[in-house]
Structure 1
Amino acid sequence: MRWTQHLFLRFNDDWGRAICYFAQRLRESLGDLLVSVVAGPREDFMFHGCNVVVVVREDTVDVRRKVVEAEREAEKQHGWKVGIAPMIVREEEESFYLEAFR
């Protein structure tokens, strides 16, 4: 399933802009392997030491490498002012983690 819809978000803070940039980089590098990106309203909103849940169809070393690269790019793009700490979960685990992240 390809991303066929567009979502435009506008944020007034570094955290929101960094997450949008991070999600865009993930979509470009992972394509159909990316299911969703879920972030809390603030950088300090943490769940098991993570502030972003990245849901993927396959959890491989290559997928994890691309997530880390996107994380670094987003943090660098925003002057290292934000810290993205992603938790990578498979699609089958999504409901458990997202319920706990609420």
Structure 2
Amino acid sequence: MIGMTRPKAKDRPRGKPFDEPERKYLCSLDIIDACTEKRITWNKTFIEYAEKELEAGSRPVDIFRGAGVGPELIGRKRIERCVARWRAKIKKEERQ
């Protein structure tokens, strides 16, 4: 139908800990080295891939969603902060 849009998926509430099934799923992904209730340790290969995709102009949320961890699961803010941290690291390395 014309004018119909798909309902927007709900983002994960900020500060909500990951439950056991979510942690199991996250830990099963190759892009994640470890996961606790509140933290995710990203695989260095994924970080390098994400940095290249960002340089090529891809949207952060599309990169994460394509890897199986969209904002519905990990939250939009977590994606924003990861990307900001990785970009800052690149800038710091370029200055040295």
TM-score normalised by the chain length of structure 1: 0.32
Which structure's CA Rg is the greater one?
2
Structure showing the higher helix proportion among its residues: 2
TM-score normalised by the chain length of structure 2: 0.33
Structure showing the higher strand proportion among its residues: 1
